[in-house]
Amino acid sequence: MGKSFLLSPTLTPSKFCQKHTSILPRNYPKVSYFRSSNANLDSFRGCRDGFCSIPSFKAMPTRRLCSKASVFSEVSNQKQFFKVGAESTGPIPSKQLLQVVQTAAETGAKVVMDTVNKPRTIAYKIGLSDLVTDTDKMSEAAILDVVRNNFQDHLILGEEGGLIGDSSSDYLWCIDPLDGTTNFAHGYPSFSVSVAVLFRGKPAAATVVEFVGGPMCWNTRTFSAASGEGAFANGEKIHVSQTDKVEKSLLVTGFGYEHDDAWATNIDLFKEFTDVSRGVRRLGAASVDMCHVAFGIAEAYWEYRLKPWDMAAGVLIVEEAGGAVSCMDGGKFSVFDRSVLVSNGVLHAKLLERIGPATERLKNKGIDFSLWYKPENYRTDI
């Protein structure tokens, strides 16, 4: 793209927790949480640069909640969907890729943390709702330094900087230096730094650093995954929920900036699922939404018109946490697709009973669902 960046000294990849303790997913009707007997304030590891580890909490049953009558058919919940993660990481070991991915994401997150309580310089990409700040650009520059210092010949696709590097590489980095910029600009706690690396078009390693809390109490939670190695939050293994009824689920969606047919269709889906579930949330940061599905605190997330940097990290983390990923018509997913549905897997087929036909109607109207933002000459296995 004709841009140049100053390279910082080589960063040592961060170390990862080797303790693979599972965090049990939420399973209704458990509605309140109590600290387990072995969790206390001493179990918080030290905070540094705004990055803290969080102790496990054990869910305890309290009261049973009433649920609406089911309006979904008894389709099989165990339908298998195509795997989105890379089958191989090529000549670079997955552990090495993940270390660099996490170092890159945390480096960008430190830039964000340094500016989160300071005045923002805001510009507009398209219209009055698609924002970009100086922090987006500084975070991406810091992330690029890490990637280039470790892998000079890799291809990089960043939200702010576009495509950089060698298109003949099998590795493509998808970088969102500040996912949820509008939330960040308002100090609303739903934004993140999202970094993933693809091997021949499929996610191989991913990290999302989520900002939590709010003004005067900002903190972070780091989600990470490598293909075939499971998903983790602050070093603790995580899993999607086991909720098997739509009427007992909490769902999440998102809306793009263009108020077109796809936007209107999703407004209708939002209304429909609000009537038959425990609620539908719209938080404004796709990578965070998907990590919440992986974490077991929401059952599904869907959206039209996302870009590769919005999805690449989140879909791998969901899959490695035991969830399912597809396009919104139920078809095989790639990060270059224009729709995504992620879920706990158990509910995926039932959700597609409504989402699939709605998406097919858009296709019949001639709405473009072809691949986009796929670099020319980039070799893939998709």
- Beta-carbon contacts of 347 under 8 Å, excluding residues fewer than 6 positions away, are 77, 243, 244, 245, 246, 249, 299, 300
Instruction: Report the candidate in 114, 223, 106, 100 with the shortest Cα–Cα distance to residue 156.
Output: 100
- Taking the C-alpha atoms of residue 222 and residue 232, their distance in angstroms, rounded to an integer, is 8
- Distance between CA atoms of residues 285 and 181, nearest Å: 8
- Per the listing, tokens 């969790």 go with 39
Structure tokens at 77: 């919940």
DSSP 19-78: --PEEPPP-TT--EEE--TT--GGGSPPPBTTB------EEE---PPP-PPP-S----TT
Residue 310, annotated as binding a ligand:
yes
Could you tell me which residues come within 8 angstroms of residue 251 by beta carbon, excluding any fewer than 6 positions away?
273, 277, 279, 280, 281, 298, 299, 300, 301
Q: What is the Cα–Cα distance from 99 to 89, expressed in whole angstroms?
A: 13
Q: Look at residues 239, 225, 231 and name the one whose alpha carbon lies nearest to residue 59.
A: 239
Cα–Cα distance, 333 to 339 (Å, whole number): 8
Q: What is the dihedral of CA 314, 262, 356, 312, to 10 degrees?
A: -20
Residues 6+ apart with CB under 8 A from 257: 126, 127, 129, 130
Does 159 count as an annotated binding residue? yes
Measured CA to CA, the distance from residue 131 to residue 246 in angstroms comes to: 34
For 333, which DSSP code? P
Residues 6 or more apart whose Cβ sits within 8 Å of residue 80: none
Annotated binding site for Mg(2+): 159, 176, 178-179, 310
Annotated binding site: 159, 176, 178-179, 310
